[in-house]
Amino acid sequence: MSEIEIRERRFDAPESQALIRAALTDLGARYGGSGDDTPVDAAEFTPPDGAFLVAYLDGRPVGCGGWRSHGADGDTAELKRMYTDPAVRGRGVARAVLGAVERSARDHGRKRIVLECGDKQPEAIAMYTSSGYDRIPNFGFYKDAPGCLSYGRTL
């Protein structure tokens, strides 16, 4: 099996945007519409206030995820745009990206990480709960939407 390599990339870099488009297409197929209408600005994913990471297998970008600051206290990160190419799912890419995102947020002083997910993403929910994430009160753009599930954990 090839080794997963994870690199920090700009949110608006072409390879990041290609993965984000694929993620939104996947979410659109599950939920309809654009996939996610949450307001996101590329500048939010620039250290020290955030970061965006891309996973590579055999030099090809196959997954991504990032974090941005959440709330006014400066202690919390919000996980955004987690995605793994379906062709490589089951090979540990998502867990590797999740771990790298968590380390990045912790290295930038965050003590907690939170995320929004939907009930039509059972594989993501399983990964988050098995990685120590617990349900928290819904927050964010979809907090009042049916099927919204929010999770968090201490870093």
Q: What is the pLDDT of residues 67-106, one digit of tens each?
A: 999 998 899 999 999 999 999 999 999 999 999 999 999 9
Considering its fold, how many domains does the chain have in total? 1
Q: Cα 57 to the chain's mean position, in Å?
A: 18
pLDDT at 35: 87
Residue 66: CATH number of its domain: 3.40.630.30
Q: Which of 103, 105, 92, 99 is nearest to 44 (CA)?
A: 105
Angle at which helix 122-130 crosses helix 93-107, to 10 degrees, equals: 50
Domain of 63 in residue numbering reads as 5-154
pTM: 0.95
